[in-house]
Structure 1
């Protein structure tokens, strides 16, 4: 594609070279530059793409886009150099244009919120697939088409950088995907990764403290989340959340609300009954009332299911088909992923890594517990210290025994992180500290007796642990399976 075509919707200045040059790929990272690439220089918090122009030249880039004055003495005279006001703003426009606006080819659902993005996305995708749709998903569990991973470059854990996102969208379009469900993170919104996405539906799950290390303030975090909804012609909003009115105010089209036993909600749930295997409830709408069963325990499953039901109705499915699909859904990896031990205790692995998420999980386990609740968790390093003691207090208040351990310490000393968490512990003697996470999990499993529940929280399906700049293999679910294989003859996953 000609560079001039790629830059069609951008105000730019040509510093040198020819905009008729042919572009074979778009790169925002020096490691992705190929022969005949267009290299976009982004300014990040740790690295500045303008410092990698020489590498771009050596790797065969034929054009670069900059946003500030740089020395061009080492750039060949025939290499095209374009200057724009903001490369971060230009990147999604360039990427979408290069891949011929792929999000126009399918219905696109964006899910945002502090917690529940993965679960809601998974429920919607599962329902759509059950009814015969070909579905793409983008989020923390990867980029997939009907649960099959697609080749995708990722530098971010939830919402991919815009070039990678548009490339995945193009692959989905080329495989005739009908619907795409995407988790939209606050940083994905703040950094304009989804700027050129043509959303059909936006969903808000909830809002609580998280990512303050990236945003600097809760207000900035909230404003980033709010910015999704002016982009959506139809929105679905959790009216139970304290910030619901602000998200309603941010909508730019029609919207519906959902809530638990909230009579003001367009879609609500009553008669909730939950056990360790799943949840029953009645869904109420002005046009119908139906009984629903979802084989994933917890009241938050009800809330997530309401969001999914509302979305799938908007996407053209009948309520009877949606309810039938929900009967067969399985929870996503690392989201209250459950193993029932032959010894009679239950293990649940969950991604809960914020105060709100941890409290919700424990509050949902309390009514169904028949024995003790053990919690194994820690807090990430180089992240918001303010939530550590809060999470310690929540764990000690809603469980019978806590084992504090490492999460992803990153560059921080694990002992320092654990000391912060320990400040919130309310019941001395009802917890212990085991720094090694695998050892901590094994300790909890060895203590569990029939009818007990062991909750391993914070990391979900993550496959590695970050310690002092290195990554070592570690998956909580695998640790549980190994322990049970060594200590029992069979295990049963629920």
Structure 2
């Protein structure tokens, strides 16, 4: 009942927002990216490509907002924005002369009608794997929600590597398919030139193909777009390398789902020359079922695991970590629990040896952490700069050696 009331509230705000800002997306060419993983990167890559092609654009992502040449940080810790704020940004895009508007269409935003009234020219599917079951209850409900933005009049760019691709194809008419595994896809690794030395891993290849598909669906020349792909820059908190002169690698990534862990390791394992040390936790007040799954995957690839705090919200960090730890097999002995995330990162940096890979996941681009405010269900946001912690820890080691 409470959820229904909230959804009605968001719908009413979306209606008011659209009338207040004169249905701004009707004046823009709009691209919606949905999926469990890869949304932020795909939106960003499309925006970068459009910039390189001289096309003014705006975007809304988990990391930041962009309107023409102005970019500012998303400090809300939310991808599903309040409808009023979302339509306000779209209106700013119109007033700034933008032609294209790209955004992440999350399952929450779709289900809660936060994006009601938003015109969509192109809908992109990256993938659909387990996530947000604390909200949707079942994977079937989660999938059904994602399908809602794929309509007959909307152009669709669909990942054939996803096992649910046929369901999205059935809902769509003007379709471009892409795949890193299936040569029958319209866009694949054999007929596309998507080389970029900064963007490592199959997941980035998949996101690049999705981005290429979006632009082709809008009439851009495939070869011209491909010529600009090598210029694309990596995104903060997505397979981000921290280089401070150390003799081991440090990677920060937003991965926080089982599927994201698998895809991240597919990119990290080829870089391995010695040990992989993985520091991670799990978000509180979210799908508890995936917690042991994360540990099980990490134990298959990492040589050492440090379990730590990661946005516990109102939950007890120790309880979350204990639930994660149940997924570590008994034969995997090299793991420890350090609840304080800062100390966990410092310990990993201090003990890292030459050619190790220190992998820090869960926070990615974020510089805040959601912790309990002392009430039963309440939380507060506190500053937490993971990059500075890493850099300071590395510098301490380098100063000691010198």
TM-score (structure 2 length as normaliser): 0.92
Per-residue Cα deviation, 1:376-427 (whole angstroms, up to 9, x for no partner)? 1000111111101111110111111111101111111111111111111124
1:332 aligned partner: 235
Per-residue Cα deviation, 1:20-52 (whole angstroms, up to 9, x for no partner)? xxxxxxxxxxxxxxxxxxxxxxx9549x78xxx
| Helix, strand or coil at the partner of 2:195 | strand
Give unpaired runs (5+ residues) of structure 2: 373-378
Q: How is 1:82-481 mapped onto 2 (pairs within 5 angstroms)?
A: 86=8, 88-146=10-68, 148-149=70-71, 157-230=78-151, 233-251=154-172, 253-270=173-190, 284=191, 290=193, 292-426=195-329, 427-468=331-372, 469-481=379-391
Per-residue Cα deviation, 1:116-144 (whole angstroms, up to 9, x for no partner)? 00011111111111121111010101221
Which structure: larger Rg?
1
Q: Distance in 2 between matches of 1:291 and 1:117?
A: 18
2:397 aligned partner: 487
How big is the shift at 1:198? 0.9
Change (3 A) 1:247 1:408: same
Per-residue Cα deviation, 1:454-483 (whole angstroms, up to 9, x for no partner)? 110111111111111222211222221222
| Helix, strand or coil at the partner of 1:478 | helix
Change (3 A) 1:183 1:231: farther
Per-residue Cα deviation, 1:354-378 (whole angstroms, up to 9, x for no partner)? 0110111012211232221111100
Q: Distance in 2 between matches of 1:166 and 1:402?
A: 43
2:376 aligned partner: none
Does the Cα contact within 8 Å between 2:150 and 2:168 map onto a contact in 1?
A: yes
TM-score (structure 1 length as normaliser): 0.75
How big is the shift at 1:155? 5.8
Does the Cα contact within 8 Å between 1:110 and 1:202 map onto a contact in 2?
A: yes
Does the Cα contact within 8 Å between 1:295 and 1:328 map onto a contact in 2?
A: no
Does the Cα contact within 8 Å between 1:448 and 1:454 map onto a contact in 2?
A: yes
Instruction: Kindly report the root-mean-square deviation, in angstroms, between the aligned alpha carbons of the 2 structures.
Output: 2.2
Does the Cα contact within 8 Å between 1:358 and 1:394 map onto a contact in 2?
A: yes
Q: Which has the higher contact order (CA 8 A, sep 6+)?
A: 2
2:375 aligned partner: none
Change (3 A) 1:291 1:411: closer
Q: Distance in 1 between matches of 2:24 and 2:150?
A: 20
Q: Distance in 2 between matches of 1:175 and 1:268?
A: 36
Structure with the higher strand share, 1 or 2: 1
Does the Cα contact within 8 Å between 1:158 and 1:183 map onto a contact in 2?
A: yes
Q: Distance in 2 between matches of 1:218 and 1:474?
A: 32
Change (3 A) 1:175 1:260: same
Change (3 A) 1:44 1:182: farther
| Helix, strand or coil at the partner of 1:260 | coil
| Helix, strand or coil at the partner of 1:391 | helix
Q: Distance in 1 between matches of 2:77 and 2:338?
A: 30
Give unpaired runs (5+ residues) of structure 1: 1-42, 50-66, 68-85, 271-283, 490-494
Does the Cα contact within 8 Å between 2:368 and 2:384 map onto a contact in 1?
A: yes
Q: Distance in 2 between matches of 1:483 and 1:228?
A: 45
Q: Distance in 1 between matches of 2:72 and 2:202?
A: 33
Of stretches 125-134 and 185-194 in structure 1, the one that deviates more from structure 2 is: 125-134
Change (3 A) 1:322 1:403: same
Does the Cα contact within 8 Å between 1:258 and 1:307 map onto a contact in 2?
A: yes
How big is the shift at 1:190? 0.1
Does the Cα contact within 8 Å between 1:201 and 1:232 map onto a contact in 2?
A: no
Change (3 A) 1:430 1:135: same
Does the Cα contact within 8 Å between 1:199 and 1:232 map onto a contact in 2?
A: no
How big is the shift at 1:321? 3.1
| Helix, strand or coil at the partner of 2:151 | helix
Aligned length: 392
Does the Cα contact within 8 Å between 1:341 and 1:347 map onto a contact in 2?
A: no
Of stretches 310-319 and 346-355 in structure 1, the one that deviates more from structure 2 is: 310-319
Change (3 A) 1:484 1:384: same
Does the Cα contact within 8 Å between 2:130 and 2:139 map onto a contact in 1?
A: yes
Change (3 A) 1:367 1:150: closer
